[in-house]
A and B are shown apart, each in its own frame.
Chain A
């Protein structure tokens, strides 16, 4: 499904990703862990197509197509979803308006008919219910004044509405309380645990991985994947830290 090969990327002339390779097949859950500043979020942004993140070498294919050739919105329409580590506040645009326009833009890109206001609202409410988000928050401006945990929950509601095939979730678990962590974990399983879907979880903690069992755990350090293992690797890292690993 996703094939990243020897990816090098820089921001403002600074090399951040330095030969990263990773293959994700449909039906798999991958966890990426790694020290602060290693380049985890950068990987997410590069896959999402954020301007200013320049790929200098390597390739990324998504379902056989060259992902790096696509505009950010085309990547979304192709089924890619990026859960932000720091979801952006957007005053003056309501959650519902933003998501309905987004979903319909994606549908248009795929040659599907747009959803009416009523159809969309039904879908949005169902997703909000499933993730324990108040319906009132759907009407509020995107993320404005949301608490840290509410923002992360909102990311998951968006993911539920947009129903992607591959999600890269950047520290979606940080900032969530214990109950919310379970709700979000259940949500990820419900939305993405399917034979034709896949998810990359970027996380610092083992906890989320108890709800969403990864097939692979990778360590990303200094811009590349330095180690890959099964779920036990996450436990080992939690016990010993990255320092011991490098030694």
Chain B
């Protein structure tokens, strides 16, 4: 496929690891592992995509449909995610929880679109896992009608390659979207999001934790736009960077003229495990209404030395003390996941990453 990638001269892409993305496109395909490894023990629909192709034999989609979807977006990567993908359409008051999607890559590039359309007061939850290698490029479009609620938990645990995710959502009146991401693999990543609160009293949340080590680079570039009254939003991101890696968090809150009583919270924090690592933070607020409350904080630091010594003085070896403190830092973000088993699985992934990074 011929794709024109953005370049780092574009302000919005200056931290992007486009070299790793390009390299991942041409890695040869190989055997793929067992998809079952990537499913949690939850009862619900299961879909497996191998190198972007739906694997019917290993899936149980139930009411999730696999079909051709157009890539209706201007996003430079998302626009290439057209073709066969998956869709969930829920009518008013319907519920479909614990949907699990495993994306397994063996090499090369794969592009999969998805749509989630929830009717009035419908409820859904989705867990997505990215494993293997190659370039996984995804576009997810979400529409939530009045009172609908969607919880998305996405973990990026590819051992290599690159994952680029583009999420676009419209959140209706009193509807709620929570999307939490964990980057705890060896791949590069770019998590792109644009959530628009279109109905009064809607809630939009996008956040997560990016853990990087070696020469790895991961980033998010997300925006929440408040276009209605009484909306609230949360963007809580944590970045942990070791070795010579870099994690970058760019998050924007936009409050349109007339979107009074908006409450937008933003918390971006970075933790450097080594002096040679980098965390870039770019918090942005663009407020055109006068009666709004937007709390925001952005900080980068190292592990608290007093806390380190306190833990060590009680008998914890340095590596264990570091892992405990770092885990607590990351848990801030993962605790936003509402479903206990999912939260536990994501925390376990973060712990496994820490055990390796601090070994």
> Chain B, 321-359, contact with A by CB distance < 8 Å: what is the 0/1 string?
100110111011000000000000000000000000000
In contact, A98 and B309 (Cβ under 8 angstroms): no
Contact of B310 among A75, A84, A97, A109 (CB under 8 A): A84
In contact, B328 and A76 (Cβ under 8 angstroms): no
- Measured between alpha carbons, how far is A102 from B324 in the docked complex, in Å? 11
Q: Among A22-30, A88-96, A119-127, which stretch is in contact with chain B?
A: A88-96
In contact, B310 and A87 (Cβ under 8 angstroms): yes
A155 to chain B, nearest CB (A): 10
In contact, A73 and B332 (Cβ under 8 angstroms): no
A46 to chain B, nearest CB (A): 12
Q: Among B11-19, B257-265, B312-320, which stretch is in contact with chain A?
A: B312-320
In contact, A99 and B314 (Cβ under 8 angstroms): yes
CB of B306 closer than 8 Å to a CB of A: yes
In contact, A105 and B313 (Cβ under 8 angstroms): no
In contact, A92 and B332 (Cβ under 8 angstroms): yes
Given the interface contacts A50-B309, A90-B310, does A73 sit within 8 Å of B325 by beta carbon?
Answer: no
Closest 9 CB pairs of A and B: A92-B328, A76-B315, A106-B315, A102-B314, A72-B312, A88-B310, A102-B315, A105-B315, A73-B317
Instruction: Determine the chain A residues whose CB is within 8 A of the CB of B317 once the complex forms.
Output: 71, 73, 105
In contact, B324 and A98 (Cβ under 8 angstroms): yes
- Measured between alpha carbons, how far is A99 from B328 in the docked complex, in Å? 15
In contact, A88 and B314 (Cβ under 8 angstroms): no
In contact, A51 and B309 (Cβ under 8 angstroms): yes
Contact of A101 among B305, B318, B320, B332 (CB under 8 A): B320
Chain A interface mostly helix, strand, loop or mixed? helix
B residues whose Cβ falls under 8 Å from a Cβ of A: 304-307, 309-318, 320-321, 324-325, 327-329, 331-332
CB of A77 closer than 8 Å to a CB of B: yes
A161 to chain B, nearest CB (A): 9
In contact, A73 and B310 (Cβ under 8 angstroms): no
25 contacts between A and B (CB under 8 A): A49-B313, A51-B309, A71-B312, A71-B317, A71-B318, A72-B309, A72-B313, A73-B313, A73-B315, A73-B321, A75-B313, A77-B315, A88-B304, A88-B306, A90-B310, A90-B328, A92-B328, A92-B329, A93-B328, A101-B316, A101-B320, A103-B315, A109-B315, A162-B314, A162-B315
Instruction: Determine the chain A residues whose CB is within 8 A of the CB of B310 once the complex forms.
Output: 84, 87-88, 90, 142
Instruction: Determine the chain B residues whose CB is within 8 A of the CB of A49 once the complex forms.
Output: 312-313
**Can you name 5 extra interface pairs (CB under 8 A) apart from A88-B310, A92-B328?**
A73-B321, A76-B313, A98-B324, A105-B316, A106-B315
In contact, B329 and A102 (Cβ under 8 angstroms): no
CB of A187 closer than 8 Å to a CB of B: no
